[in-house]
């Protein structure tokens, strides 16, 4: 799975939305509201839109420490543990090593880093190939957990990227 800039797919997303308004079938979407884990303040919303070969991700997160934060889709849609560990490990149906989503080998749940500004706000717009919302293939993310970590992802340490504590957790659900 590779990721690519959101800009080239914006036209495709707008076309899909236009078709939806004409009654031609709309985009397949999902959303994950993020809530802080115990002792943290991070929260936000991550929206997912299925496009050919992947999923557009639009994340808006607040309450973070300034700087980089690991950001992953996890195997279980369970945020019941105060520290978010109930979400399990990274979503990895293909059995790959953890790594940078810009490179060929990595978990399907590996995502680009969230980067928070001086006020603790982070935005991310990207497309991740190999993921689905419609249930087709092994890349289906509906019902999976979504975790924001306290530290940057080094994209090397196995199997987690050494991203530290889980500061926010959400569950991906269709809209």
Residues with active-site annotation: 72, 74, 90, 98, 107, 110, 149, 166
Residues 6 or more apart in contact with residue 148 via CB below 8 angstroms: 34, 42, 44, 61, 64, 69, 70, 71, 114, 166, 167, 168, 169
d(CA 141, CA 131): 7
Reference 147, options 78, 74, 44; nearest CA is 74
């Amino acid at each position: 799975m590779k990721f690519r800039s959101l800009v080239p797919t914006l036209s495709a997303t707008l076309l899909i939305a236009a078709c939806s308004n004409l009654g031609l079938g709309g985009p397949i979407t999902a959303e994950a509201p993020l809530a802080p884990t115990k002792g943290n303040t991070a929260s936000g919303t991550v929206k997912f839109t299925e496009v050919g070969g992947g999923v557009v991700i639009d994340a808006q997160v607040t309450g973070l420490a300034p700087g980089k934060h690991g950001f992953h889709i996890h195997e279980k849609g369970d945020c019941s543990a105060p520290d978010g560990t109930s979400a399990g490990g990274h979503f990895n149906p293909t059995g790959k090593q953890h790594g940078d989503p810009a490179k060929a080998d990595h978990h399907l749940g590996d995502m680009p880093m969230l980067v928070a500004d001086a006020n603790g706000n982070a935005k991310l717009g990207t497309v991740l190939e190999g993921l689905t919302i419609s249930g087709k293939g092994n890349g289906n993310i509906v019902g999976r957990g979504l975790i924001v970590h306290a530290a940057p992802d080094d994209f090397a340490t196995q199997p987690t990227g050494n991203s530290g504590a889980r500061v926010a957790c959400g569950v991906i659900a269709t809209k």
